[in-house]
Amino acid sequence: MKKHILLLAACLQMFSTVARADEGMWLLHMLQRINEAEMQQMGLNLTAEEIYSINNACLKDAVITLNGGSCTAEIISSQGLVLTNHHCAYGAIQGFSSVEDDILTNGFWAKSFDQEKPIPDFNVSFLVRIEDMTERVLEMVTSSMDESEREEAINAAIEAITAEVTEGNDYRVDVKSFYYGNEFYLFVYNDYDDIRLVGNPPESIGKFGGDTDNWMWPRHTGDFSMLRIYADKENNPAPYSEDNVPFTPKRHLKVSLDGVHNGDFSMIMGYPGSTDRFLSSWGITQALDLYNPSVVDVRDLKLRAMKEHMDADPAVRIQYAAKYAQTANYWKYYIGQSKGLRALDVHGQKEEIESQFAAWVGESAARQAEYGEALSLIESYYAGTDATVVGDVYTLEAGLLAGDLMLFAYRVGAMSGGLLDEESAEGTRERLQGLADEFFKDFDLATDRDIFEQVMAKYMADIPADQCPDFFATVDGKYKGDFGRYADKMYAKSPLVNADAFADFLANPSEKVIEKDLAIAAAMSLIASYRAHFFSPEQAKFDRGYRLFVKGLREMRPDAMWYPDANSTMRLSYGTIGDYDPADAVHYDCVTTAEGILQKKDNSDPEFVVHGALETLIRNQNYGRYADENGDLVLCFISNNDITGGNSGSPVMNGDGDLIGLAFDGNWEAMSGDIAFEPALQRTISVDIRYVMWIIDKMAGAQNLIDEIDFVQRGTDAGLGSKSWMKEEREVLEGGR
């Protein structure tokens, strides 16, 4: 009981004074004003200017986002070599794999530039600068506007800013809302599209532990892969070309061999996707009772259907590997989040915050006039959406994402007008053929059909008829409510399920075929239902209520270090390497070692297979310069840095800005952390950079990549940081390979 009370008090402290050092995802241009002094006291040896600068090369120039925010990565050489997580490149690795050449299972390492594999539809983005645009975006907004008028004025301002900033250049601009529409910041990006796969370890290393170990500590996963950025001869972005050359970055990270120790300073830079730290008690209730269980329920069904087909056919296993992993990741996430929210009484924490806010508002007539409706609007929003939130989940999870066919059919249906228009037909055909090539590459009809039948039947059974898509009435009437019978005809007749038939359709498109196609009919009905749910009339209450609530909280505690929720913009978090106690009589160390791989080894279980070469190297303790001071090979470590989805692949750096690891996961006991940071429990799990380099060096034998990297070992002798020392010392220390 005492521990619970102390934990609750620590969580509430965020709203009563300032955020803890280890809590917060901080905007880089604010570091000098808010965080620099504290970071330096904790062990940072850099200035804020060396982390973020508009005019000079800095750490931000070595950190990139992948595919618009799916993951983070870092540049580790002067030739555009990139490190990220294995699961961040998983789709690309799977796409290059086949039964005959299964690099997902066996790994891949390019020993020269010409062996690197161009990745289709893959891009990286560099942050150029950040600017505060709050005053300009809100210039025409008045207090008398309703939410739709306010949104219209804001969008017009953002459109004008975007046009102004992008005029005469190829930069991409994104103006983002912060603190629920109270502030707005401009982010300018430079995008590169020619990205190539350089190397990946076998899946038995990159995904060791599989779903069983996902979100768990202790961990022994080598979650990394390597890419390279290519540019034209002037170092500018360019589409893929054999004439392109390795990109020359403004800044790249050095790789530290000093290792990690309990209490060491650590910082993480990256692109966290989404947090809900201001979520209300009513939002917690809806998540626990309705939203989370629905996501878990539907995804559980899809996972079982996929796995049955994957286990039966090696080709399907490869085709669906990335889809399965993506589905499973957040299936387990929502299970853990619900458990954490209940165990840590986050609902009670939120009620206390709301009680404090209500009391503060009630102390002043002026506050009552400005903020008095905030909490009632929020409560009303959740009361008004409780009846439909499960239907919203099903529309997406059991509808458009029921299988690959539904999403592909929606795209074909949405573009059919262009296909039938003589002026735009050629361009539309090219775009649809590109989508088709991607779709058919990883499409298995039997698997897709099985998923479709099962999830649609569940959708009809679980959701009230007035919330279901219109085509359900057709299934109910014409097909006696049997989705199997609907699927019989859809998968037999639709040209969208066969590559050759679809090519014939593109060559001779017919309005009649489009109108009668059951896949297109189902998909367009699903998207109509999704849009109807998405544009709920209750949304205005949510937007206004949370905007006033967050503005009032910041006014109520003006001394607090208020950080905004994550929204796929570059952030920095800082803290320390550290162990923790997850439960009574349980203590977790802050590092794991290679011995743990052998302890978990079970070659009868696909999740815990240990590659033969890896086992031999570990048993021989052939660790060389990558061993710690005890002669062990550290695999993973934990720190109390604040991260979330999107941070996968983020560089974990020491006080000198040198790379010590790659962040890849959070821990099970703090799965509620996206909603409430839990200082006693929350940990970031990272793969140790020495393990990464050891795999590349000793197991892959990719000397070309090792030679490209700048290693440093500042803890013993500053002179040991040069690559020439590393090459000379290798022979003495390790006696050859």
Give the residue numbers annotated as catalytic, written as ranges: 87, 223, 648
- CB count within 10 Å of CB 16 equals 13
- Reading the block at residue 363, the tokens are 């102390």
| Run of H or E including 293 | helix 292-312
How does strand 255-256 pair with strand 711-712?
parallel
How far, in Å, CA of 297 to CA of 544, rounded? 32
Helix (H/G/I), strand (E/B), else coil: 229: strand
Angle, alpha carbons 357-363-369 (nearest 5°):
80
The closest of 226, 259, 245 to 634, measured between CA atoms, is 259
Look-up of token digits 């954490």: 340
How far, in Å, CA of 233 to CA of 245, rounded? 6
Residues in the chain: 737
| Run of H or E including 334 | helix 321-343
Question: Which one-letter DSSP state was computed for residue 719?
Answer: G
How far, in Å, CA of 202 to CA of 222, rounded? 9
How far, in Å, CA of 354 to CA of 507, rounded? 61
* Distances, alpha carbon 149 to alpha carbons 69, 104, 176, 186, in Å: 29, 51, 18, 22
Report whether 43 contacts 258 (CB < 8 A). no
Question: Which one-letter DSSP state was computed for residue 17?
Answer: S
Look-up of token digits 């905004």: 564
Cα Dmax for the chain: 79
- 3-state SS, 33-98, equals HHCHHHHHHHCCCCCHHHHCCCCCCCHHHHEEEECCCCEEEEECCCCCEEEECCCCCHHHHHHHCC
- Give the bridge partners for 652, in sequence order: 268, 661
* Distances, alpha carbon 1 to alpha carbons 6, 579, 584, 668, in Å: 9, 22, 12, 21
Helix (H/G/I), strand (E/B), else coil: 361: helix
